[in-house]
Amino acid sequence: MQFSKRNKYIIAALFVLFLISFSFDVLLGPVKIPLNDVLKIVFGSSAPNSTWVTIITEFRIPKAITAVLAGSALSVVGLMMQTFFRNPLADPFVLGVSSGASLGVAFVVLTAGSFGINLYFLGDIVSNLSITIAACIGASIILLLITIVAKKISSNITLLILGLMIGYVISSLENFLKYFSSPESLQGYVIWGMGNLGNVVWNDLYFLIPVVFAGLVFSFLLSKQLNLLLLGEKYARSMGVKTSEIRTMIIIVGGVLGGVITAFCGPIAFIGIAVPHLTKNLLNEFDHKILIPAVALAGGVLTLICDIISQLPGSGQTIPINTVTSLVGAPVVIWIIVKQRKVKHSLAME
Amino acid sequence: MNIKINPQNDKHFADGKPTLSASELTVGYKERKKSVNILFERVKFSIYPGDFVCLLGPNGSGKSTLLRIISGIQKPIDGEILIDGKNIAAYDSRELAKKISIVLTEIFDINNASVYSIVSMGRYPHNNWLGILRREDFEIVDNMLKVTDLLQYKDKNFFELSDGIRQKVMIARALAQDTPLILLDEPTAYLDAPSRIEIMHMLRHLAKQFRKSIIVSSHDLDLALQAADKIMLITKEKNIEIDTPEDLVLNGHFETVFNTKEVKFHPQKGIFKKKAEKKITLKIVGSKTEIFWTERALERIGISIRPDKDALGLLQIVKQNNEILWQLNIGTETFTFYSIGELLDYLSRLNFS
């Protein structure tokens, strides 16, 4: 691994930014807690106010950790998808992988009620597990579908439209499910669909942390093959990459990471597309050995910052995280499209 | 002493074992209605270390298909291909990556990658799962950058280089892959003439220097005739002839494959030309270079040059005080022109009926 001197500084700066934004995410929130008391609670000395202790340890810290996990996972999946599809616009949200996960969740949450099963009655673990598995399956199926269709599509924009269409089809299927579901389960689903990092409790994290960590490590193990895929599938194959094998792995890792995050946090838009691009531009790097850890770190930072913004510091109100990530991510997509057009024009003189 | 060489004998004089040998090879692809379109039937050929071979054939004759078959991407209908004496189907993809490297026509974009890092990707089949370069990898990459004359570009961003340089980088990468066989599918198709010539001669030189077998498919017949040791010619009889370019010209194979109604191969000159519609003939006098270019210009407008007296007129090219004059005598009249352009203007306005 060769870091240039410049990139070492940038990674170090990102890490510092990570610590700062993590601290701010714990510090800020609708309930004002003085810095002194936050420090006391975090470092376990005498607690001044038991409500504050609960807010910090049971709500804000798990939420910040979830933000990091969600940001890292979605960004790394986005990076892998961009390399694999050779398409700068690929990401779990844009191509409908998150929608696939949503459909899985919808299927479990909404049909459970109509079979007379109350998910809350089954207990957290069973319901969470079934939702998570359904989300992973939904995400993987969409990824598989896109992989098959992407072989026949050369244009980046067309793939984007395909993702959009998949999104429409899925939302109409969801509406169909909603129509036949009980009001209670519908309410649960609608709340889930707004995307919320704050729903995750410590018990969920004991599951989420190892799964995301394993997914990230597994992605890192693919970095050599991903580098070769940058030269295109033919060159990659001629240098020993088994493309069908790596396709399967990306579908599994992408499906699990995308599915798990969507199941726990709801759909989170544009992080997966924005972070890899921002990181690549920041580091001037192509090597996935460096990009994957860097993108994971930057994904954590950006999601933490989005979460801080969503608290609307000082206002006592919060807005859904999805709203903030869209505000940050959508301009990045526009920037990519404009940049690409420019390159095309200058080469082909269309 | 009387040396007899049997042309049927498949022995190679320089090296014993072929890098690539095909026997009884039948290649084709299925058309829609289950009929099979055969491209080659029961062909047999061998390529040896140090051979620089150009694969030629008309459009649609199956050059790319043949390269796909040789590289193991596509399976033949029948027959077998041996790479270093072992059937290509018996290699797993990583092993095969140590035997065959490829260079493609299309020039792709990869952002933020230096020339050095792209060439070092050639070492991936040889190094560990993370692709960390070892000392020997660095040495090989440095050496390949040197032999392809790319050292000055080594830290440049691949994305910002010209197409010709990028293609040289891909060749350096193939060399770093250190395979006995290198296949190039029309690598110079998008390049300008100087880059094309440079790359072909460089490949020839590399084949000799590293004792590699290099097969290049090409559309550029003139250049292939100049640079190749051997030409692999796909004939109209669905066969493959491998021979020295000059032999293929003299035994007429070249003409049979490429001549069309409009374009004809000229064995005397080694080039292809559109058939001239002969209207008039001129006799031409002057120095060599001027005659050559004047003749080319005249042929384009359908006037051919004949040395005998039957010609319609006489064209004299005269050098006077650093100026070149074209003096045309037709019958009793003499016209003087100060450039080939003027001469052509005049001649094309004449009505030869």
| Domains of chain A as residue ranges with CATH | 5-348 (1.10.3470.10)
B245: pLDDT strictly greater than 80: yes
- Interface check for A4 against chain B (CB to CB < 8 A): the answer is no
Mean pLDDT of B240-247: 88
Residue B178 belongs to some domain of the structure: yes
Q: How confident is the model at residue B103 (pLDDT cuts 50, 70, 90)?
A: very high
Residue ending a domain, among B219, B235, B266, is B266
**Closest-CA distance of chain A to residue B71, Å:** 8
Q: What is the mean pLDDT of residues B319-335?
A: 85
Shortest distance, CA B45 to any CA of chain A (angstroms): 23
Q: How many domains does chain B have?
A: 2
Q: Do B73 and A237 touch (CB under 8 A)?
A: yes
Q: B19: distance to nearest CA of chain A, Å?
A: 17
Which percentage of chain A shows pLDDT scores above 70?
88
* Cα–chain center distance at B110: 27
Q: Are strands B240-243 and B86-87 parallel, antiparallel or unpaired?
A: unpaired
Is pLDDT above 70 for B300?
yes
Domain boundary among B266, B290, B312: B266
Q: Which residues of B touch A244 (CB under 8 A)?
A: none
Q: How confident is the model at residue B217 (pLDDT cuts 50, 70, 90)?
A: very high
Q: Which of B124, B129, B171 to mutate to test the interface with A (most CBs of A within 10 A)?
A: B124
B173: nearest Cα among B192, B154, B190: B154
Q: Helices in B46-134 by DSSP H: which ranges?
A: 63-70, 93-96, 115-121
| Among the ranges given (A81-85, A98-102, A322-326, A343-347), the one the predictor scored with the smallest mean pLDDT | A343-347
Query: What is the structure's pLDDT at B283?
Result: 83
Using an 8 Å Cβ cutoff, are A71 and A301 in contact? yes
In B, which residues are within 8 Å of A241 by CB distance?
A: 93
Does B308 lie in the same domain as B192? Answer: no
Same structural domain, B224 and B317: no
Residues B145 and B71 in one domain: yes
Q: Does the pLDDT value for residue B50 go beyond 60?
A: yes
> Is residue B131 within 8 angstroms of chain A, CB to CB?
yes
Instruction: Say what the pLDDT of residue A228 is.
Output: 92
CATH number for the domain harbouring residue B339: 3.30.160
pLDDT, tens only, A108-125 = 877 776 555 555 444 555
Mean pLDDT of A221-234: 91
Residue B118, domain member (yes or no): yes
Confidence category of residue A6, pLDDT binned at 50, 70, 90: confident
Position B325 in a domain: yes
What is the least distance, in Å, from the CA of A110 to any CA of chain B?
Answer: 44
- Token representation of residue A174: 């969801």
Q: Is the pLDDT of residue B11 over 50?
A: no
**For chain B, what is the mean pLDDT?**
84
Is B349 strand, coil or helix?
helix
B260 with B299, same domain? Answer: no
Note whether B112 contacts A286, CB cutoff 8 Å.
yes
Q: Same structural domain for residues B87 and B195?
A: yes
Of A25-39, A298-312, B68-82, B117-131, the least confident? A25-39
B316 touches B270 (CB < 8 A) = no
Amino acid at B147: V
Nearest CA in chain B to A288: B130
Partner-chain residue, chosen from B71, B97, B129, that has the shortest CB–CB distance to A224: B129
Lowest mean pLDDT among A32-46, A69-83, A88-102, B185-199: A32-46
Question: Does one domain contain both B85 and B171?
Answer: yes
Is residue B92 in a domain?
yes
Per the listing, tokens 């991903």 go with: A226
Distance from the Cα of B281 to chain A's closest Cα (Å) equals 44
Residue B14 lies in a domain: no
Q: What per-residue confidence (pLDDT) applies to B285?
A: 85
Question: Once rounded to an integer, what is the mean pLDDT over residues B234-262?
Answer: 83
Q: Determine the 3-state secondary structure of B315 from DSSP.
A: strand
Angle at A217 between CA A213 and CA A218, to 5 degrees: 115
Whether the predicted pLDDT of B57 surpasses 80: yes
Chain B contact for A56 (CB, 8 A cutoff):
no
Q: Give the domain range for residue B42.
A: 20-266
The runs of H, that is alpha helices, within B158-259 are: 163-176, 193-209, 221-227, 245-250, 253-258
Would you say residue B271 lies in a domain?
Answer: no
CATH number at residue B49: 3.40.50.300
pLDDT in tens, A252-270: 898 889 888 988 888 888 8
Q: Does B117 touch chain A (CB under 8 A)?
A: yes
B259 lies in some domain: yes
Q: What is the pLDDT of residues B37-49, one digit of tens each?
A: 788 888 888 999 9
How confident is the model at residue A291, as a pLDDT? 95
Q: Is A53's pLDDT higher than 90?
A: no
Query: Which residues of chain B neighbour A230 with C-beta distances below 8 Å?
Result: 110, 113
**CB A244 within 8 Å of CB A236:** no
Q: Which tens digits make up the pLDDT trace of B147-168?
A: 999 999 999 999 889 888 999 9
* Residue A301 in this model has a pLDDT that exceeds 90: yes
Confidence band of B350 (pLDDT split at 50, 70, 90): confident
- Whole-number pLDDT of residue A30: 77
A86–chain B nearest CA distance, Å: 10
Q: Which of A157, A116, A159 is nearest to A340 (CA)?
A: A157
Question: Quick one: which H or E segment has residue B285?
Answer: strand B280-285
Chain A CA closest to residue B70: A238
A242: which chain B residues are within 8 Å (Cβ-Cβ)? 93
Residues of chain A neighbouring B98 (CB-CB closer than 8 A): 240
- Name the closest residue on chain A to residue B174, using Cα atoms: A239
Q: Are residues B89 and B191 in the same domain?
A: yes
In a domain, B272, yes or no: no
- Cα atoms in the Cβ-side hemisphere of radius 13 Å centred on B159: 11
Residues present in chain A in total? 350
In chain A, whose CA is at the least distance from the CA of B124? A239
Q: What number is the average pLDDT over the span A288-307?
A: 95
How far apart are the CA of A106 and the nearest CA of chain B, in angstroms?
A: 40
The answer to whether B105 contacts chain A (CB < 8 Å) is: no
Subunit contact B132:A221, Cβ cutoff 8 A: no
Q: Does residue B130 belong to the interface with chain A, where contact is any CB pair within 8 Å?
A: yes
User: Do B286 and B208 belong to one domain?
Assistant: no
Q: Is the CB of A234 less than 8 angstroms away from the CB of B102? A: yes
Q: Which residue from A1, A231, A284 is facing B112, i.e. has the nearest CB? A: A284
On whether both B156 and B243 belong to a single domain, the answer is yes
The mean-pLDDT minimum among A135-139, A308-312, A324-328, B128-132 falls in B128-132
A231 and B108: CB-CB below 8 Å?
Answer: yes
On whether both B244 and B293 belong to a single domain, the answer is: no
Contacts with B100 from chain A: Cβ below 8 Å? 238
Rounded CA separation B225/B105 (Å): 20
pLDDT at residue B9 in the model: 44
CA dihedral sign of residues B137, B140, B145, B146: positive
Confidence of residue B13 (pLDDT cuts 50, 70, 90): very low
Find, among A129, A91, A22, A62, the residue nearest to A336 by Cα.
A91
A231 touches chain B (CB under 8 A): yes
Among A3-17, A36-50, A268-282, the minimum mean pLDDT is found in A36-50
Interface contact flag, B102 A232, Cβ < 8 Å? no
Mark yes or no for CB contact A238/B111 under 8 Å: no
Residue A12 — pLDDT band, cuts 50, 70, 90? Answer: very high
Q: How many CB pairs under 8 A join A and B?
A: 63
The C-alpha atoms of residue A265 and residue A105 are separated, in whole angstroms, by: 11
> What pLDDT score does B3 carry?
53
Distance CA A89, CA B76 (A): 38
Q: Pick the range with the lowest mean pLDDT from A186-195, A196-205, A271-280.
A: A186-195
Q: Work out the pLDDT band at A350, boundaries 50, 70, 90.
A: very low
Chain B residues closer than 8 Å to A221 by CB: 129
The lowest-confidence range among A43-57, A96-110, A156-170, B4-18 is B4-18
d(CA B160, CA B269): 40
Same domain, B133 and B211: yes
Using CA atoms, how far residue A17 sits from A24, A57, A59, A218, A301, in Å, is 10, 22, 22, 26, 7
For A325-338, what is the mean pLDDT?
Answer: 84
DSSP bridge pairs for B318: B325
Region label for A284, one of left (φ > 0), alpha (ψ between -120 and 50) or beta (otherwise): left
End-of-domain residue from the set B266, B301, B319: B266
For residue A77, name the pLDDT band (cuts at 50, 70, 90): very high
Is the confidence at residue B91, as pLDDT, over 60?
Answer: yes
Q: Check whether A335 has a pLDDT greater than 60.
A: yes
| Residues sharing a CB contact under 8 Å with residue A92, sequence separation 6 or more, in sequence order | A74, A77, A78, A81, A98, A139, A254, A258, A272
Q: Is A235 on the interface with B (CB under 8 A)?
A: yes
Q: Can you give the pLDDT at residue A78?
A: 94
pLDDT at position A346 is: 44
Coil, strand, or helix at residue B84? coil
Q: Is the ipTM of this complex over 0.95?
A: no
Query: Residue A293 pLDDT more than 90?
Result: yes
* B254/A contact by beta carbon, under 8 A: no
Interface check B73 vs A, CB under 8 A:
yes
**CB within 8 Å: B111 and A280:** yes
Q: Which percentage of chain B shows pLDDT scores above 90?
A: 25
Give B77's pLDDT tier (boundaries 50, 70, 90): confident
Chain A residues 280-339 with a CB less than 8 Å from chain B: 280, 283-287, 289
State whether B237 and B318 are in the same domain.
no
Q: Which residue has the tokens 């292809």?
A: B272
Percent pLDDT > 70 in chain B is 90
Q: Which of A138-152, B91-105, B112-126 has the lowest mean pLDDT?
A: A138-152
